[in-house]
Amino acid sequence: MAYQLNAYQTIGKLGKTFGLEGWVRFKTDVAGEAIIASCLKYNRAVFVQIDSFKIPFFIKKLDQNRQLIQFKKINSQEELRELTGASLFVDSTSEFSTTTSQVDRLAQFTIFDEHTNFDLGRIIKIEEYPAHPMATVRINDNDILIPLVEEFIVDINPDEMRIIMKLPEGLYDLV
């Protein structure tokens, strides 16, 4: 009988606790946010490295705007504080891993500009650039590159396949 050892992929890092209701801050990129949201939606575990072990945790609640997460079965602030600074992983053999570019999973999402209340349209492709990934959206028969950077992203809603962004003025005015 052959056994396959789990391979893990880092998707972020846990920060300090927040408030008294079991929230902890997390840091990740756009792809990591989408993975975490998918893990919540499909009740899949994320793994937290404690000492040299990767321990599975299920997500209870998620606040993507403030990058806060609550885990099921965490019963005290003391237990939560033990997770501070720990790395966050997913099983790389799962469908949520980022083996190619996880950002590619955002293709077909719609980008909405919160600043102008304008629905830019559906992402037709995503390309990796040295600084950050760029989404291509077709507006009036013109392909426009939209930077997928944390500073512009307000929320990613995997249920609605929608990315809400605050884009700089003039980014797509020329079309």
Instruction: Transcribe 24-71 into DSSP letters.
Output: EEEE--HHHHHHHHHHHHTT--EEEEETTEEEEE-EEEEETTTTEEEE
pLDDT score, position 99: 39
- The structure's pTM equals 0.54
Residue 13 pLDDT more than 90? Answer: yes
List of residues 6+ apart from 74 with CB closer than 8 A: 22, 57, 80, 83
Mean pLDDT of 144-165: 86
pLDDT score, position 1: 32
What is the phi/psi pair of residue 113, to 5°? Answer: -90, 110
pLDDT score, position 101: 47
Q: Which of 27-31, 100-104, 120-124, 126-130 has the lowest mean pLDDT?
A: 100-104
Residue 14 pLDDT more than 50? Answer: yes
- The pairing of strands 153-157 and 162-165 is antiparallel
Q: What is the pLDDT of residues 35-87, one digit of tens each?
A: 888 888 888 888 998 888 888 999 999 988 889 999 998 878 888 889 999 99
User: Which domains does the chain carry?
Assistant: 8-91 (2.40.30.60), 102-165 (2.30.30)
* d(C-alpha 21, C-alpha 133), whole Å: 35
SS3 assignment, position 140: coil
| Total residue count of the chain as it appears in this document | 175
